[in-house]
Each structure stands twice: as structure tokens, then as C-alpha cells.
């Protein structure tokens, strides 16, 4: 895929920002495209399992364009948030229009902000890390930097990971467990890390605590400088973005479990421990996040060179469609039961006590 294809999410961002200057049902244009039009389109645009040739990979890794596309998310996202907050405070967006504006900007927080932040958070450059945390700030989810990289990636596809859903879990219950469990995990990871250096949990050395303070200060500043309605609108958009993120987490590892390595610890993460999707629209809109099997098996591998693996379990459709399906748990479970049975035949899955009881 040409790098400019990844500008598709920015084209949708433009549509979303423009819709903030409309009224009524028109303010829901972007969520309708993401969760209505795109899932239907992906039913006839399945994508390809094709991987890049070695020389193509080398060219992409050498190009600065792919990283620049991630950095572009920062001004676009905060411009959208600013428009939402100012128009909400002025009364230009109210009632149904305000709900539409929150849903629109929340969709950008989830699809653009948190996704670009996730990719930058896996890089080794400190500047990338700072930008990642700023993007997480858009969702008041800065602790995710610690939890995702040092918690989720270590515990993925085990019962210890709050973001790895068991077979039969309902999305709505998993939202609570993943959000609350993620905060607890991030705090535990960070306090243990700084304790080894001789620092107390409540200190300037605690990056998770600093994140909480920055988020509170930013929200208070918005309330004082713009108004309480603006602050509430930001919180609403942040919640939408977080729920989108946690829905993707739910789908990405649903029902998959790692076995024991023979020494009482989970086996090394393999491509078959994450659900993969090659659907083209989802890939270009989410910076190839849907090639998730390679991402977890090789977390440092940048998004433009993520690969398809034949033995990785494949989702029946792209991420947008799977997110919609996940909101209807009985239907989602019925569809995924068939897919999990196929995975079981290729890679017998360990079953937790909770799954056995279910």
C-alpha cells in the first residue's frame, strides 16, 4: 500500500470536523461512516494476505513518511477537540447535535489518537514516547502507555491480562474489567519499577501519577478557560474513545489463550495468540493495527511492515464490523464460536477454570 493511503483517516477527520459545524443528525456523519458504511464495504473488500518483499520492507523502514503520518494525528486531533469544546460551550452544539459532536470527536480519539499513540508508544525514541502520551491525553488514558507496553504485552492471552477476553465474556462486562484492571495494573507496574530505584509510590518519579495530575490539570484548565460544558464534552469524547479502544482489545484476543512453557510460565507469544484481519479499509484507517498477530509476536515491528501469517486466526471481517458485532454479544459469541473451533483444531487452546465453568 502506498503511504498516502494512510491519509484516509485524515480525510475522515476532515469530514468529522466539518460535521461539527452542522446540526442534528448530520453531526453523526463520521460515526455512521465508520460503523455503518465501512463494515458493509468490507463485506465485499476482503483484503489480501500478501506480504511485502524484503526490498519493499527495507524501503518502508527507511522512509520518514510513515512516522510523519503518525505525528500528524496530534494537531488534527486536538483541533477537533478544540472545535467541539468551543462550540459546545457557546451553545452552537446542544441536545442531539452535542451528542453527535461527542460521538464524532470520540471516534477520532479512538481511531486516530489512541491508535497513533499506540504505535508511537512501541518506538524507542523518547520523542515518540512523549507524543504517544500526549495523544493518550486526548482520552485521559495516559496510564495506558505503561499498562499496554509493560502489562498487556507481557500477559496477553492469559487470565492475568484484564484486556484479554475469555470465551463467552460479554463486551460490556469486559469494558469494566479492562478499564479498572488496566489502571490497577499500570499503578502496580510503575510503583514496583520506581521502588526498585528507591523511590516512593507518591513521588515525582511515578509516571502514572504524573499522568493523572496532567489529565486533571488539563481538564480544570479547560473548565476555567472555556467552561464546564466544554470540559464535560471533552470527557464525553474521551469516554467514547476509550470504549472504542477497549472494544478493539476485546476483539483482538477473544477466547485465545497461551499454553504453559513447561516451567510454570506462559509460552512465548505466537501469531496464533491474536486475531488477525487483512481487510483493506480497516488496515489503512487504523495504521495496520488489524495485522495484530504480527504486532504481538513482534511488538517492535513498525506498522507499515506488519505481516500476515497463515497460522494466525483470521477474523470474519474487519475491525469496524467486528466492533459493531461485539456490541451484540449473543450474535458475536455465535460467530466467534465457529472461528474458535477452527483455531482449536490447529492450535489446541488451554481452557481456564472460569471458561470450563461457563
Range 38-48 burial, b when 16+ CB lie within 10 A, else e: bbebbeeeebe
CB contact at 8 A, 301 and 153: no
pLDDT by residue, tens only, the chain of 358 residues: 578 899 999 999 999 999 999 999 999 999 999 999 999 999 988 789 999 999 999 999 999 999 999 999 999 999 999 999 999 999 999 999 999 999 999 999 999 999 999 999 999 999 999 999 999 999 999 999 999 999 999 999 999 999 999 999 999 999 999 999 999 999 999 999 999 999 999 999 999 999 999 999 999 999 999 999 999 999 999 999 999 999 999 999 999 999 988 888 999 999 999 999 999 999 999 999 999 999 999 999 999 999 999 999 999 999 999 999 999 999 999 999 999 998 888 777 665 434 443 4
Helices assigned H by DSSP within the chain = 8-19, 29-32, 38-42, 54-62, 65-71, 73-90, 96-108, 114-121, 126-137, 144-146, 153-155, 171-195, 207-225, 228-253, 280-285, 292-297, 319-326, 329-346, 353-357
Distance CA 78, CA 160 (A): 34
Identify which of 178, 159, 160 has the alpha carbon closest to the alpha carbon of residue 170: 178
Pairwise CA distance, residues 310 & 145, whole Å: 30
- Cell 507481557 belongs to 154
Amino acid at each position: 500500500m502506498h503511504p498516502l493511503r494512510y491519509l484516509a483517516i485524515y480525510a475522515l477527520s476532515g469530514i468529522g470536523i466539518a460535521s461539527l459545524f452542522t446540526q442534528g443528525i448530520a453531526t453523526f456523519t463520521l460515526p455512521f461512516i465508520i460503523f455503518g458504511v465501512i463494515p458493509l464495504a468490507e463485506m465485499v473488500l476482503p483484503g489480501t494476505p500478501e506480504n511485502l518483499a524484503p526490498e519493499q520492507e527495507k524501503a518502508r523502514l527507511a522512509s520518514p513518511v510513515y512516522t510523519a503520518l503518525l505525528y500528524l494525528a496530534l494537531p488534527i486531533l486536538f483541533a477537533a477537540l478544540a472545535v467541539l469544546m468551543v462550540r459546545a460551550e457557546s451553545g452552537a452544539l446542544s441536545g442531539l447535535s452535542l451528542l453527535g459532536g461527542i460521538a464524532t470527536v470520540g471516534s477520532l480519539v479512538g481511531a486516530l489518537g489512541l491508535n497513533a499513540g499506540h504505535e508511537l508508544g512501541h518506538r524507542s525514541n523518547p520523542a515518540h514516547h512523549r507524543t504517544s502520551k500526549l495523544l493518550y491525553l486526548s482520552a485521559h488514558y495516559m496510564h495506558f502507555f505503561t499498562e499496554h507496553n509493560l502489562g498487556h504485552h507481557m500477559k496477553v492471552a492469559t487470565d492475568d491480562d484484564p484486556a484479554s477476553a475469555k470465551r463467552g465474556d460479554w463486551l460490556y462486562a469486559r469494558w469494566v474489567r479492562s478499564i479498572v484492571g488496566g489502571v490497577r495494573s499500570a499503578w502496580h507496574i510503575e510503583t514496583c519499577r520506581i521502588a526498585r530505584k528507591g523511590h516512593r509510590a507518591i513521588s515525582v518519579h511515578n509516571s502514572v501519577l504524573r499522568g493523572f495530575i496532567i489529565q486533571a490539570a488539563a481538564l480544570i484548565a479547560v473548565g476555567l478557560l472555556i467552561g464546564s460544558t466544554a470540559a464535560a464534552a471533552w470527557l464525553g469524547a474521551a469516554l467514547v474513545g476509550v470504549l472504542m479502544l477497549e472494544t478493539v482489545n476485546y476483539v483482538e484476543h477473544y477466547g485465545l489463550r497461551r499454553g504453559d512453557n513447561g516451567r510454570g510460565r506462559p509460552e512465548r507469544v505466537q501469531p496464533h495468540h491474536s486475531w488477525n484481519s487483512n481487510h483493506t479499509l480497516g488496515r489503512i484507517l487504523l495504521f495496520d493495527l488489524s495485522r495484530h498477530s504480527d504486532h504481538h509476536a513482534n511488538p517492535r515491528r513498525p506498522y507499515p511492515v506488519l505481516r500476515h501469517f497463515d497460522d494466525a486466526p483470521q477474523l470474519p471481517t474487519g475491525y469496524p464490523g467486528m466492533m459493531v458485532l461485539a456490541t451484540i454479544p449473543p450474535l458475536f459469541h455465535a460467530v466467534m464460536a465457529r472461528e474458535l473451533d477452527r483455531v482449536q483444531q490447529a492450535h489446541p487452546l488451554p481452557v481456564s477454570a472460569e471458561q470450563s465453568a461457563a
